[in-house]
Amino acid sequence: MLEVKNLRVHFLNAAPDRFAVDGASFTVGNGEIVGLVGESGSGKSVTAMAISGLLPRRKSEYTGEIWLDGVELLGMDREAMRKMQGDTIGVIFQEPMSAFDPIMTIGRQVEESLLVHHPEMSAGARRSAALTALADAELDEPEIVYEKYPHELSGGMLQRAMIAAAVIHSPKLLLADEPTTALDVTIQGQILDLLKKINKTKGTSILFISHNMSVIRKLSERVLVMHWGKIVEEGSVEEVFLRPKDPYTQKLIASIPARDRHLTRLKTRPANPQDGRRMPAPGQT
């Protein structure tokens, strides 16, 4: 359903031979949950931004191909891509407090994609759809949440509201960019269960991005490991976690805390001069 071919992304403020994403290729099948894991700065979020059309076009250069359900995205003009955003592609951002507009109610922001893609809908129909989405996101008393402002909700409630906004249009692909990072373990588990429910009930494909190997293992069916902008390993959860092949993946697995062993300090594999020049510039993820 999603096919990324030899994606390369270069930010214009970086050195000419430094790439935030350097030749990444992978697929996501219909109804599949795929985990994309790696350290901060490995290129995970930039990959998601390229797929969703959110890369700053005046500040970046990119090559390769991104095919979504038979449509090539990377070469699309802004207007055509806008028709895909919020409709065919949904995005759950990492920081809901900064992603939501603080002066708009939750309800207005959840239903915003309906206003963009279906301006013919009445205000009542949009409200009804937003309330249904909030309820589907397992928020108690959605009528009350609809009227709230972002600062009036907890982190877990905000993340659920963002999920509601991302899936209100039943997208074919959901990009989840570290949606559980700032949440405690209990709420984190609830959000993962909610994403599994969305995947099963709506058939939505999910690309789940995280640096947390345990979260990736709990949610995903298949795992992609990214390092310095490259996919260095991919396979089923069982293959990657029990029989990792790449030295970087082995060290990521070894860094997971466990009661029966000490925490292993993660050391990246030695770089050759070519790789060193292509590491993402500071601040790029």
The rounded distance, in Å, linking the Cα atoms of 219 and 213 is 10
Task: Return the CATH number at 228.
Answer: 3.40.50.300
| Residue 283 pLDDT greater than 50, yes or no | no
What does pLDDT average to over the chain?
88
259 in a structural domain: yes
Q: Which of 147, 170, 193 is the last residue of a domain?
A: 170
Q: Are residues 36 and 108 in the same domain?
A: no
pLDDT tier at 100 (50, 70, 90 boundaries)?
Answer: very high
Q: How confident is the model at residue 282 (pLDDT cuts 50, 70, 90)?
A: very low
**Cβ neighbours for 177, distance < 8 A, ≥ 6 positions apart:** 44, 45, 48, 91, 92, 93, 94, 209
Mean predicted confidence (pLDDT) in 112-116: 92
Instruction: Choose one of 170, 196, 214: the last residue of a domain.
Output: 170
* β 205-210/222-227 pair status: unpaired
pLDDT score for 281: 46
- Please give the distance of CA 67 from its chain centroid, rounded to a whole number: 17
pTM: 0.87
7 and 46, same domain (yes or no): yes
Both 253 and 181 in one domain: the answer is yes
Average pLDDT of the residues in 17-26 = 94
Q: In terms of domains, do 109 and 250 share one?
A: no
Using alpha carbons, select from 228, 184, 180 the residue that is nearest to residue 35: 180
The answer to whether residues 271 and 185 belong to one domain is yes
Decide if 285 is inside a domain: no
Q: Is residue 93 one of the residues assigned to a domain?
A: no
- Does residue 176 share a domain with residue 81? yes
Within-domain flag for 74: yes
268 and 221 within one domain: yes
Domain assignment present for residue 94? The answer is: no
Q: Give the C-alpha separation, 4 to 141, whole Å.
A: 40
Higher per-residue confidence, 182 vs 211: 211
Do 187 and 46 reside in the same domain of the chain? yes
Percent over 70 (pLDDT), the chain = 90
Of the candidates 101, 84, 83, 87, the residue with the CA atom closest to the CA atom of residue 161: 101
The answer to whether residue 141 is domain-embedded is yes
- What confidence score (pLDDT) does residue 229 get? 94
Percent of the chain with pLDDT over 90: 70
Give the pairing type, strands 71-72 and 60-68.
antiparallel
Considering the domain architecture, whether residues 186 and 164 belong to the same structural domain is answered as no
Band the pLDDT of 259: cuts 50, 70, 90: low
pLDDT at position 277 is 43
The whole-angstrom distance between residue 172's C-alpha and the CA centroid of its chain comes to 14
pLDDT classification of 227: cutoffs 50, 70, 90: very high
User: By C-alpha distance, which of 229, 234, 204, 213 is closest to 50?
Assistant: 229
Instruction: State pLDDT tens for residues 149-168.
Output: 999 999 899 999 999 999 99
Whether 143 is covered by a domain: the verdict is: yes
pLDDT tens string 41-96: 899 999 999 999 999 888 999 999 999 999 999 989 989 999 999 899 999 988 88
Domain assignment present for residue 204? The answer is yes
Side-chain-side CA neighbours of 256 within 13 Å: the count stands at 15
> Where does a domain end: 123, 140, 170?
170
Q: State whether 130 and 271 are in the same domain.
A: no
The Cα 84–Cα 107 span in angstroms is: 22
Checking DSSP bridges between strand 222-227 and strand 230-236, what pairing results, if any? antiparallel
Domain match, 49 and 184 both: yes
Could you tell me which of 250, 275, 281 has the C-alpha nearest to residue 264? Answer: 250
Which band of pLDDT confidence, cut at 50, 70 and 90, is reported for residue 5? very high
Half-sphere exposure of 114 (CA within 13 A, CB side): 24
Owning domain of residue 126:
100-170
The residue type at 130: A
| Closest C-alpha among 58, 110, 113 to residue 82 | 113
Shared domain for 267 and 191, answered yes or no, is yes
The tally of domains found in the chain comes to 2
Q: Does residue 240 register a pLDDT over 80?
A: yes
